Structure 1
Amino acid sequence: MSSLLSLTSITKNFGSKKIIDHLSLDIQAGEFVSILGPSGSGKSTLFHLIGGIFNPDEGEIQLHGKRINGQRGSISYMPQSPSLLPWRTVLQNVLLGQELQGKKDVDTAVKMIEKAGLSGYANAYPLQLSGGMKQRVSFIRALLSPQPVICLDEPFSALDELTRLDMQKWLLSMWDEHRRTILFVTHNIDEALFMSDRIVVMSAQPASITAEFSLPFPRPRHEDFFLTEEFLAWKRKIYYAIRK
């Protein structure tokens, strides 16, 4: 089966410093793949390469078998901060990705806002929202964008533990319904195990992929998952893979 997104021997330097070294990765359609690695290992740089903000010095990035090196607009990107436009309402913010592609599906956007527990907030502005609400709006915007791959760069890192768990469960429910392809950067092993089909471990700089794990856990996953012996065994396995 051919991959939806394929990175082949990607290398990226900034001046004399090598950040990513011959990294290869294949992502299948509908997969939820998490990337784990030490701080500063180049995970965000990898997203910038996939998104066309940076050009790799070596290697090729393909989407649907088409080379997209340096090509912007091929993927949907959700950064650590919600990055909502303060002068646009919730509805206007979630439609932004579609508008940039010359499309606008207001009915679907309103339904997704309501499903996200934001009924009555479609015409509110970001200043009126909590941190978790802003993250929901940001994810709906990514989900509504027409690109086939959504890259999420530590989207819940600024949230408190309880809000973070609520957001993880909500995101999984939305992903389960729409089955978009997600590439998810996190520093949190628990989060990666709870969310993912597959976990990819990156080394410290210069970054390459040192391990990949396909997870055996069925979906949907619930909070008691964190208390199982199988979860703890996998957490140890992933931890030692990162520490190598």
Structure 2
Amino acid sequence: MAELSLIDISKSFGGRQVLENVSFSVSDAEFVSIVGPSGSGKSTLFHLIGGLLEPDNGDIYLDDKRVNGKRGAISYMPQSPSLLPWRTVLENVMLGGEIIGDKNPSEAINMMAKAGLAGYEDAYPDQLSGGMKQRAAFIRSMLSPQPLMCLDEPFSALDEFTRLDMQQWLLSMWEEHRRSILFVTHNIEEALFLSDRVIVLSSGPALVKADYTIPFTRPRKESMVLSHDFLEWKKTIYQELRVMT
């Protein structure tokens, strides 16, 4: 179980206000995406939730426990896969469990097979394609013990077709395991395709401009992105962002 609540979070750097009274929640097993203009504080939010930074004001709760400034409460996947080059792929994906003394090679191998990485257990990261590295990084997050996953634009460096494949794969894994996910992206289509809710942040200082519940049924199909309803939702969020630029 993982329920996240941010209450009136504010943060500034060198006198520049980055976040101002930001409040939102992520329910258990919910997939929530955050979109906003560049520099709107999306990554800063992750650093606050992960305990790398402390808010100037406000509180962060995970399962009703205040986690301001506390590290280790979330599983984090950055834009770069950040695989350790001297470790095999299997050793990389088991890293989270290894840190807490709870390695499970059979589960890791099983998840790698589902991710199309069977046969790469003993390979090293430089032998993988970009999409394969992202799959390995996601499995590492899935195998970490923390119930909340924060994904910071994990597919931004991939080409369009690989990105779509990764989105569909991510959804298949999420629907099987139902972890709570907070996902940052600049891509409106990606947010709509993946999410139960989409939160729109304003630009400098960031506050929650809109919080949309996305009505599309699951499982999501690729053809959905060309439907009239999908394009209308994309237009709505685009216009919300457009007025801030």
TM-score by length of 2: 0.98
Q: State how far apart, in whole Å, the 2-side matches of 1:103 and 1:17 are.
A: 42
Indicate if the aligned counterparts of 2:2 and 2:29 stay in contact, CA closer than 8 A: no
Paired position in structure 1 for 2:114? 115
- 1:222 is displaced (CA, Å) by 1.1
Shift of the alpha carbon at 1:102? Answer: 2.1
Pair 1:81 & 2:80 matched:
yes
Aligned partner of 2:132 in structure 1 is 133
Deviation (angstroms), 1:110: 0.5
Matched-pair contact (CA < 8 Å) for 2:2–2:180: no
5+ residue gaps, structure 2, are none
For residues 211 and 105 of structure 1, what CA distance do their matches in structure 2 show? 41
Aligned to 1:61: 60
Identity %: 63
Q: Could you say what the CA RMSD is over the residues aligned between the two structures, in angstroms? A: 1.1
Partner of 2:144: 145
- 1:243 CA displacement: 2.0
CA distance in 1, matches of 2:108, 2:186: 31
Aligned equivalents of 1:15, 1:42: Cα separation in 2:
14
Q: Match of 1:87, SS?
A: coil
Normalised TM-score (structure 1): 0.98
Query: Which residue of structure 1 aligns with residue 227 of structure 2?
Result: 228
The answer to whether structure 1 residue 51 and structure 2 residue 46 are counterparts is no
For the 8 Å contact 2:2–2:147, the answer to whether it is kept is no
Residues 28-70 of structure 1: CA deviation (Å, up to 9, x unaligned): 0000000000011000000000000001010000111011000
Give CA deviations for 1:2-29 in whole Å, capped at 9, x if unaligned.
9811100001111211110110111100
Match of residue 42 from structure 1: 41
**Residue type at the aligned position of 1:115:** K
Corresponding letter in the other structure for 2:194? M
Secondary structure in structure 1 of the residue aligned to 2:32: strand
For residues 82-101 of structure 1, the aligned pairs below 5 Å read: 82-101=81-100
Distance across 2 between alignment mates of 1:101 and 1:7? 27
Provide the rounded CA distance (Å) in 2 between the counterparts of 1:76 and 1:202: 22
Structure 1 consecutive aligned stretches of length 4 or more whose deviation exceeds 3 Å: none
Residues 1:8 and 2:10 are matched in the alignment: no
Aligned length: 243
Aligned residue for 1:214?
A: 213
Q: What CA distance in whole angstroms lies between the structure 1 residues aligned with 2:160 and 2:93?
A: 25
Q: Deviations over 1:68-112 (max 9, x none)?
A: 000000000000000000000111000111112221111110000
1:4/1:63 contact within 8 Å kept: yes
Distance 1:135 1:67 in 2: 31
